Amino acid sequence: MLETSEILQTIHMIQEQHFDIRTITLGINLLDCRRDNDAATAECVYDKIRRLASHLVPVGNALENELGVPIVNKRLSVTPVSMISGTDPMRIAIALDAAAGDVGVNLIGGYGALMHKGSTNAENTLLESMPEVFAKTQRLCGSVNVASTRSGINMDAVRRMGHIIKQTAELTAAQDGFGCAKLVVFANAVEDNPFMAGAFHGVGEPECVVNVGVSGPGVVQRALETVRGKPFDVVAETIKRTAFKITRVGELVAQEAAKRLGVPYGIVDLSLAPTPARGDSVAYILKEMGLEMAGAPGTTAALAMLNDMVKKGGVMASSHVGGLSGAFIPVSEDIGMIEAAEANCLTIEKLEAMTCVCSVGLDMIAIPGDTSANTIAGIIADEVAIGMVNNKTTAVRIIPAVGKGYGDSINFGGLFGYAPIMKVNTFSNDAFIERGGRIPAPLHSLRN
Amino acid sequence: MQKALVSVTGQDKVGIIAKVSTTLCEQNINILEISQTIIDGCFTMLMVVDLENTRDDFQAIAKTLASIGEEIGVLVNIQRMDIFAAMHRI
């Protein structure tokens, strides 16, 4: 029999500390949907998603009721669309958006391309369609992989992404550039990430698969409140124990969801994903460790330890750990990060350092609307270089706020939150970005 | 056996256990274990129950229990035991 204290601990985690399963994401292969033209492909895509994903939301809701733990999002990820699209990818985008709406999921990821070494004609066409697609669709998200440790950095793609992000912001200016919140630029993108906006169904994945993302920054923060003043050894152990417990629930949900949907269980992504709600913040964990705010000297070390302990605790709790797995540090989606940015304690450069030791990258950062495409490309180049050299995933999801400048803010509402516009280094990098070509893979890519 | 945990929390008053147990009895739900304490002035009761022989589905039971809770002014939740076992037992 379980102890009363154990049962109450679980109940308190859910009721008071914002513990939840952040997402059940169903990955669907679309390679067999390719037809002679994009209109026919779109039709096939729509039918296939309706067929395979219609039970996802009811199953997610039933599990939420029975286990008493919120399952916040039910989502879909699909094969990168550039692998099945031709000259008119917009048609497929609209079909994906409609299918997602019909099956009741809030987001669908995969409108993207893997172009870390070069681009195909279909990828070029898809890239150009992105600004309009993200302006016209509601639920569709996309990502572009522009670098990898194995192949280096595709600087042509980096340069173009600077322009694509600018155009996307301009076309969605009325919604504070919300289109850019649905677009991620990656280095070393993973094939089984269940989190948006960067989720896609990789080519090494099965026909259909369930991936689950757990969360719980609030639970970790609360656990650390009990060890104030203790040395880091104790802090590390406390984070590990907490991560283990959280991930065990993720494993249970993943196993159950896979069984009920009749598809294989892929991975549990043991990420600490914050929300703008007070008490659900990764930055507050750093604060609890003894920093006045996220960004204060010591932040990178604190985050490095947090990220590693989450993995060490979580990996024993699940049979398959994957995805991004670590701590997320989006600015607009984390109340502690928002406060730190508003207080100028947190800068883009400090965030860049933090991304060297956590699971993703420069995420949900608002920058002045007049930032040039080349400056954005430079920010991307720096970030993907960190990913390439350190053999890890890094990403850039940045939002130029059209018509706004440093000191203003943007507001998306809901899980996407709001963000103060951060200062950007505007010294010119034009000659650097205009070079184009590829930055060769690092020496340690030669591992065979 | 299909084990679930019924948790009841709120202001202590006369008849909470009676009311909740009666409801469970009406649904043909067997009570396997009960523990009850007052934590910081808050009434806390945990019941392990078996849903094997009930006619209603989980959602209907959860709804009935929640409405009973509302009637007497306490929070009544039901969750499958699996979540607690997963978190605290290897």
Residue A423 φ then ψ, to 5°: -75, 140
Comparing alpha-carbon positions, the chain B residue that sits nearest to A314 is B87
DSSP per residue over A245-279, as a string? HHHHHHHHHHHHHHHHHTS-EEEEE--B---SSTT
Task: Say how far apart CA A113 and CA A146 lie, in whole Å.
Answer: 9
Q: Is the pLDDT of residue A62 over 90?
A: yes
User: Is B77 an 8 Å CB contact of chain A?
Assistant: yes
Under 8 Å between Cβ of B24 and B86? no
Mean pLDDT of A133-156: 98
Q: Is the pLDDT of residue A268 over 80?
A: yes
Q: In the structure encoding, which two tokens stand for residue A333, read together?
A: 């989606």
Query: Could you tell me which CATH class the domain A1-435 is placed in?
Result: alpha beta
Interface pTM, i.e. ipTM: 0.91
Q: Are strands A21-28 and A107-109 parallel, antiparallel or unpaired?
A: unpaired
Q: What fold, for B3-88? A: Alpha-Beta Plaits (3.30.70)
- Cβ of B83 within 8 Å of Cβ of A62? The answer is no
pLDDT score at B69? 94
Give me the residues paired with residue A185 across strands. A144, A396
* Chain A CB contacts of B44 below 8 Å: 8
pLDDT score at A192? 96
Is residue A56 within a helix (H) or strand (E), and if so which, with residue range?
Answer: helix A56-67
Mean pLDDT of B39-53: 90
* Chain A CB contacts of B51 below 8 Å: none
* Chain B CB contacts of A245 below 8 Å: 87-88
Residue whose entry in the numeric block shows the structure tokens 């595709």: A154
What does each C-alpha distance from A5 to A8, A70, B20, B44 come to in angstroms? Answer: 5, 21, 22, 11
- Cβ of A248 within 8 Å of Cβ of B59? The answer is no
**Conformation bin of residue A75: beta by default, left when phi > 0, alpha when psi is -120 to 50:** beta
- Cβ of B87 within 8 Å of Cβ of A68? The answer is no
Mean pLDDT of A299-313: 97
Non-local (6+) Cβ contacts of A348 within 8 A are: A362, A365, A367, A379, A422, A423, A424, A425
* pLDDT > 70 fraction of chain A, expressed in percent and rounded: 100
pLDDT score at A359? 84
Residue A61 pLDDT class (50, 70, 90 cuts):
very high
Under 8 Å between Cβ of A215 and A228? no
In eight-state DSSP terms, residue A81 is G
Mean pLDDT of B22-30: 94
Q: Is the pLDDT of residue A1 over 70?
A: no
Helix (H, G, I), strand (E, B) or coil at A45: helix
Nearest to B82 among A3, A4, A67 (CB): A67
Mean pLDDT of A85-91: 97
The CA-CA-CA angle for residues A284, A285, A290, to 5°, reads 90
Residue A341 pLDDT class (50, 70, 90 cuts):
very high
Residue whose C-alpha is closest to residue B38's, from A219, A17, A4, A225: A4
Task: Say how far apart CA A115 and CA A147 lie, in whole Å.
Answer: 8
Residue numbers of A between 224 and 283 with CB closer than 8 Å to B = 245, 248-249, 251-252
| Chain A interface test: which of B76, B83, B89 (most A C-beta within 10 Å) | B83
DSSP per residue over A133-168, as a string? HHHH-SSEEEEEEEEETTTEEEHHHHHHHHHHHHHH
Non-local (6+) Cβ contacts of B26 within 8 A are: none
Nearest to B5 among A7, A9, A245 (CB): A7
* Chain B CB contacts of A10 below 8 Å: 83-84, 87-88
Q: Is the pLDDT of residue A327 over 70?
A: yes
Q: Any idea where the domains of chain A sit in the sequence?
A: 1-435
- Per-residue pLDDT tens digits for A163-188: 999 999 999 999 999 999 999 999 99
- Per-residue pLDDT tens digits for A407-444: 999 999 888 899 999 999 999 999 999 999 999 999 99
The CA-CA-CA angle for residues A78, A312, A327, to 5°, reads 55
